[in-house]
Structure 1
Amino acid sequence: MKIARIETFYVPPRWLFVRVESDDGAIGWGEASLEGWAEAVDGAFEALKDRFLGHDPFAIEDIWQIAYRGGFYRGGPVMMSALSGLDQALWDLKGKALGLPAWQMMGGRVRDRIRAYAWIGGDRPHDVAEACAVRKSQGFSAIKMNATAELDWIGTPKLFDEVVARVEAAQGAGMDVGLDFHGRVHRPMAKQLAHVLEPLGLLFIEEPLLSENPEGLAQISALVSTPIALGERLYSRWDFKPFFEKGAVDIIQPDLSHAGGLSECRRIAAMAEAFDVAVAPHCPLGPLALAACLQLAANAPNVAIQEMSLGIHYNVGHDLLEFLSDKEVLTPVDGYLPIPQGPGLGITIDEAAVREAHKDRHRWRNPIWRQKDGSFAEW
């Protein structure tokens, strides 16, 4: 068996799907979505095609090592997202060819389902109580929302009153709350906001600072007992290593479409387990990314909760389940996602719908925000 074809598809609202086919007709799908940079990731596939057309698709680890190390330059969001999509597709292909779920090939499952959380509130959080009522009716018991819109570098704690009120509204609606600072809050105010939120009993604070500031993150982690979560902008086990060593993080959030796919994220989870750190994979993306996350949840004992993008504010015109032939596989039940039982990643892509959507390629870009003084603001 040899890899005969590697194809990429721009799938709305902002996803990049990968299809790998062998010379004997075996097919696997993956997701290489890198929000706002689909064209760059698509370009990286040209090098991967040159290397791996004609390669044994079952040799997943060999392909991973060559893709990561073989081009001299390594790491970063673009190349690692391309590798992630390829890796997912190879696990899907191998599983479908052998009739086994990816989790079975990786050692078997440790759980039957994983608790899920959904997003509310959009980029500039609002209508929290109403949104929580909708999520509760869908069976969720946990939500995540952005803490704030754009914030200046410095300010007074009165700016945080609305943040506290939103959290209290969500908790009053019966929800456990994770709060995403989204890297929008700079160090002088992040310490204050984390302190103000301490009595509220949050599930976690996500990206209180950008991951490029591990020293500041370690300081905030030492100031509060609220669990600190991060990881969506880290792309390999080597990127995560200093955060473990500094004790700067309690929950890691590798993205299986950015951090080397299922292969690398299983290694990252094992590394986290050695430091008694939980895993909550980042996944505001499409169905293939979520299916890969569920394979990891099946196999890694320290996966604690799973993000999913059903109804997320990014999914304008197209939602999570639209390109699936078996939507029930990724449908939450009583706030949990069942572990897929089917082969490979456990889902079936509607290939005709994907090819049709690709004809009108999306060009998704995140917004650019500015402060009141006209300077750039983190989104």
Structure 2
Amino acid sequence: MWQNAIEDAVAKTRNNIKRFGDLFPHVSQQGIYELNPNTDWTNGFWSGLLWLCYEYTGEPQFKEAADRTVAGMRRRMDVKEVLAHHDIGFLYSLSAKAAWILTGDEGTRELTIQAADKLMERWREQGQYLQAWGPVGDEQEGGRIIIDCLMNLPLLYWAAELTGDERYRHAAIQQADKSRRYLVRGDDSSYHTFFFNQETGEPIGGATHQGFTNGSTWTRGQAWGIYGFALSYRYTRDPLYLDTSKRLARFFIDHLPEDLVAYWDFNAPQQPGTPRDSSASAIAAAGLLELLLHLPADDSDRHELEQAVIRSLASLVERYSTMDDPDAEGLLNHGSYHVRGNLSLDDYMIWGDYFYLEALLRLERGIPGYWYERAAGDHE
């Protein structure tokens, strides 16, 4: 099943190279991907898909297309208004850093370090956090951190390792610690966002931007937490991060519906007509596979987590994938972008496609994506 799903994903990505040209897919409307000229936070996922396909097949057309996306990311570095957010790790880890990991091209290494510097511009010294959105002092967005940012921290950890500059690592650890303390609740659920006083750094309170309510658990956010804390553990070996990842994973699994693919929010009514978010389950699957790499063989939760990720991924393949539609642009049906904003419900999400293929390749081939360096000598 995994092999067939991978081959289907590769074939669709191959077809999409011609369809998309030099544009980037974002989310779809009625099965057709919206395309943009590298202006959204999601564009790195298309680049990452291309690099995954190249790593799996070795076909030059995937590398050529991926190289063009990296060239686009190089041009984007000089356009301030499309980098005014914290998702620089999503953009450059899966494009420039992926190119560095797979090819060893020095230019992509330098571009990735530039991206880490750009992310550091969002560091707020007074509060010791990375501000998610908006400029310094912004009345609405100032002081906000969000759980998604955990997936941008590998860019900073990596930059610290490559350059020896501990500023990057300090910022990443402080952000992970604040996320653990303020975004993760006592019952192992999570807030989407949390606010701090911009002048004093004092905590104000948790909220949501895309979840059901301020006190609910947005499933994609919970999935970002599973994966993000596991990656912070990989880079730091702090056992608190590993424990937090596992706790979030247990909550995620324990609150899934019968078919093991998440609704958009764990507190939303689980009933016919309530939107699912297949992308949340794809992220969680990839994150669980990272988490399992670090759990000892005798861990009491290991078997349950292993079985959960296999069953959930199988459900994505069998019930949510587009394997029965060779002309489909996306890989996963029934994703949701911003339910409360009524944006792209029950459609393709490019990040859902990326994490779906990453999870499949992790399970079948041990290809882990581009969040960290591989063993020495892995460059071509």
Name the structure where strand makes up a greater proportion of residues: 1
Q: TM-score, normalised by structure 1?
A: 0.28
Whose RCO is larger (CA < 8 A, sep 6+)?
A: 1
Higher helix share: 2
The structure with the larger Rg is 1
Q: TM-score, normalised by structure 2?
A: 0.28
